[in-house]
Amino acid sequence: MNGKLLLLLGLTFLLSSCEKDDICAESTPTTPKVVIEFYDAANPTTAKNVSNLVVTSPDFTKALSPFSGTNKIKVPLKTFQDNTVLHFIQNGGTTLTTDDNLDVLTFSYSRTTSYVSRACGFRTLFSLNTVNPVVLTPDSNNWIQNIVIVQSSIANETETHVKLYF
């Protein structure tokens, strides 16, 4: 009986010293999205809301929800490549129609991966390239008129990284 009690106490001591599985808190910084703010091309200091804007990519399984009534959006960049091609569709819907206006932007960057914790895993930080960080593919009807890089280091989602003028 003494041996069983000693074994039970020993197991209790060992198990109480183990840590519970970590939980990744919502406040823990993870891989940030690029923050894009929209402005009026005719009046560059005035923020301008988008309406019926759909953002998609050949690599997305589905489009990001339509953005309307906002002048600031957050979109993901690829964590496994040094560029991301995004389609910005003005008047966008789930299928292309004649009033849709598609502009293609290519984001070029370098990546740094860092370990956050056992529960949260890794996060990727991005740094937009100094040469051609965001390139608009020209077409006969671009709705995006100008691109300005505000912050080339994408380490959080609290500040604007890119301004698009339309």
Residue ranges per structural domain of the chain: 25-165
Average pLDDT value over all residues in the chain? 87
Residues near 121 by beta carbon (within 8 Å), at least 6 away in sequence: 24, 115
As given in the structure block, the two tokens for residue 71 are: 């002048």
pLDDT value, residue 4:
54
Count H helices, E strands: the chain?
1, 10
18 band by pLDDT with thresholds 50, 70 and 90: very low
pLDDT value, residue 17:
47
Q: Residues 107-141: pLDDT tens digits?
A: 999 999 999 998 999 999 999 999 999 999 999 99
For the entire predicted model, the pTM comes to 0.82
Q: CA nearest 67: which of 48, 42, 45, 41?
A: 48
In angstroms, the CA 7 to CA 4 distance is: 5
